[in-house]
Chains A and B, each alone.
Chain A
Amino acid sequence: MATSAFPANSGSRQKRTRFYFRMMDICLVASVLILASTIPALEPAANADGTTPTWYLAYGSVLIFFAFILTPALILARFMRDEYAEQLFRRTTDILVYVSVAAPWLVFVAATLVYLATGAEEAPYPFSLFMVEVTWWSAVAQLFKFFCLLFVFIFQFLRWKDSR
């Protein structure tokens, strides 16, 4: 039986990559929940005084952690990826570039078609979301959030596709 020509390794990179994939799995669950939270029908009823329920604030805080802290950390954590995870990362970023370029055009075309079909003065949901005036910071934060979500979805999809 062949034996290794190299001294036994601690498997540290393997452990880091396994942890990386576990964190990505958790981020995927969080990403789905974050997307779901944008659906108005799924928002909880406000408190009697009009404030947001405390449990929902706590829930949102956890999701914010995953969207704005853990996912970006995983994107930047090159040291946690073995060469296969790094290849997944590069394939993900390749796709992200194309999506980032195509998405605005697709939204514009879709909104235009909806307008031509309905003739409505106000865009229907979800296109109405793009008509809301927001601050620069709010726009940057939303773009950053969806960029991170997209990264997780694409990365996990590629990983799943390879495992089949």
Chain B
Amino acid sequence: MQWRGAVAGLFALLAACGPAAAFDRAAIAGWSCAGASGMTEAANALIFGVASASKEDAAWAAALAGAALDRTLKCGGAAPAIETPQGPVDAVTLQPGAAGDGSAPLLSLKNRPLFETARAAATLFVGATPGERSAALGALERRAASLPTDIFERAADAETDAGLKERILGAGQAALLNSPDMTKRVAAIERIAATPDRRALTRIAALKADPAYGKDPAFKAAVDAGVGSIERWLAVSNALNALYNGLSFASILFMASAGLAIIFGLMGVINLAQGEFIMLGAYVTYAVQEAMRAIAPGALDWYLIVAIPVVFAVTAGIGVALEATLVRRLYTRPLMTLLATWAVSLLIVNLVRVAVGTQNLQFVTPSYITGGRLVMGDFIVTWNRLFAIVFAAVTLGLTWFVLKRTPLGLNIRAVTQNRAMAGCVGIATRRVDMMAFGLGSGLAGLAGLALCPIYSVNPQMGSNFIVDSFMVVVLGGVGTLAGAVIASLGVGQINVLIEPLYGAVAAKVIVLLMIIVFLQFRPEGLYAVKGRRK
């Protein structure tokens, strides 16, 4: 039985290599039940036949390979059958009615990767979603050298998703890299160099060890040109990555320091507990997540959006309470306010530490900010950082609107410019202070929400941001949004740009020195509000 299967398999193999051969379904299903060597034949037949198979045959190949892998292929009955949730089906026709008894054939260590390759190859043609096909491609890329090259070409022809099509072609070229035909190899090198990423670099750089590199000058030139071009593009994409990370850091910094700057401009005090409002924002986000998990698990993905008003309300409320009980009583003593708000921050950190614990909080990453998009080279626009950036931009817009287009904003600006005169014309300056303090605290809370998907959240996290926020306030000047925006961008970008060159610490040192030098020329910051000096 076995030798017959093996011989038939060999014939099938030869046939499959020829043009437009359809699967001999019955034979392949039979071999799958014919022990280890039969299964090898079956898998090879699937792999080599799938490129030229019809759509139904490819779907059948995927089902059969999958069944062998998942151990739902049953060999005990009269004909091989596949167990499905709807009952057993015939392994040849995929029609119901088979007797699904017997045991699944054992996959040997050698056969498992073959069947995996067969399933991936079939899925590449018939996978329902681009995601499925992309995963299949990922599996195939690892074994590209042992695959018939026409798999990639035909799959690329059939592919509808443009991005995936590019990748399939790339994988095909990678397989061609090892082809004996030198012109094909050179063409493949150029093709791979056109999509510059780290993997392409290692792939082409590895060719320097190839014997042809020393012998064939055309091949050597192609490899060197490819490596050079990829390295150039990688440098560009690394720079873009740094800029992008800097932008997301700056976004969070902006939300943390805009509140500080508004309050400082208005009342002349710095809230040293601002970092703890960020932390509270993150903890409230966590509370919302847990509440949604308990009440509406189906909508858990949307907790970040649901949390926005909750976080703002809670942190702004705490800010208003802090202003009314403490800051207001110290308003002629800004230096004492520093110490008092520091005491509040110490209190908040330790309350959270006692109540929740010191461990990092675990956040569910919602599906809409998972992953990212590869733009070029290694530069990936990750959705979680994009979320922070967009969120900060929207917050900036809303804050600008509040400050410039609402009565509250008008009052804040008036009191910032001249407190005594604003009081004289009937503005309730204490009330304005309270509202502004709430606004600033709410902004810090939103910063905490935005950083949940990016940074780790624990009771001490506030101190990571507070000193950078100071630098933003000092650099940007007080009481203006524009200053806070530009200074956060500056501080954020300088931090991440210097970091890869000299390390994170050097970045902070350089930022501080630059600020001290800068203050020699503009002691009031970038944008000084024209008003009475306090």
A and B from one assembly? Answer: no
